[in-house]
Structure 1
Amino acid sequence: MKLREVIVVEGKDDTVAIKRAVDADTIETNGSAVNQATIEKIKRVQKTRGVIIFTDPDFPGEKIRKTIEQQVSGCKHAFLPKEAAIAKGGKGLGVEHAHPDAIREALKDAHMMQETITEEITQEDLITAGLIGGTGAKERREWLGKLLKIGYTNGKQLHKRLMMFQISKQEFAEALEVIRKEKTNE
């Protein structure tokens, strides 16, 4: 699988993991304090080839994603579920620990955040669905993020993420139905 877009990752180990999974070029941020020279590289390549931001599913990874997103418009975002990014033995979390199949799947599902945002799903919908507050809300958000391929968010950020990716009421309802069915099968 050869990718035209350049993948933005956190470090050298992530680049190695990406190259095991796909034929693609990468830009490494070398940590969460993304410097201006790196931002300029990302801006330049975004204009000519496109960019996929693919950071670790943790706080520093989200910080990098937000920093780039604020300064470089039009990037696609790929998300890896936490369980796919856990190192063998449970010591470590990141893209570098993911199986090549999980990386390919995340990159295949990369999508762009929308510039103009319309609200299809309200905060009230999230509360009604048990995604904010209450027992099991975190687990339901994790599951929803996986099903919709938008990554995990806390309760405050879920509404924003759903709007940025323009998740429709129908997609949302279908994902909730899958969660509900799985819950009854436990």
Structure 2
Amino acid sequence: METTICPWCQTEIVWDEELGAEEECPYCHNELKGYRTLNIQLGSEEEFEEEAELADGEQEEDYWEESSNPHLDAIRRVESFVAGGGDLLAYESGVEKVLGGQDEVPECPHCREYMLHAGQQSIQDGSFEPIVPKGMSTPLLSNTIKLNVFICSACFSVSRFLAEEDRNSLIRTVSEKA
């Protein structure tokens, strides 16, 4: 018989060899297969010691070089700032101070860190051409709108959102035509 621990309720599940593994936990009824379950095969202590002896700076550097994750690239930029004499603690403290003064604190769509409000961008006449959606008599937005610009403090990606007054205008326009 095979024994498994449910990752959700931490209950030991004993499966019969004839029936095989179940799709869900018989106690909490959560799925046991798929992306929600992580199976880790642990090796002997000797294997861990061998890996520790083999680990050196070159292997670690190769790991970082193979990565194509932009979030890791941003981490390297912050680390290079620290290596160049910058104070990471001061940076983090400054980020917290800026975030504390913001009315709106969106999460970065890439790395889920909080974003800093960097300013407002005006879309002037001619730069933005609004359309009239089907079933409506007026466009959703005017041709002069403002966007709030946010920068991620970790991966430095930029996001733009409608400014508060333009959001309210959009809500009123859609509500009146509904």
TM-score by length of 2: 0.21
The structure with the largest alpha-carbon Rg is 2
Structure that is richer in helix per residue = 1
TM-score (norm 1): 0.21
> Which structure's residues are more often strand, by fraction?
2
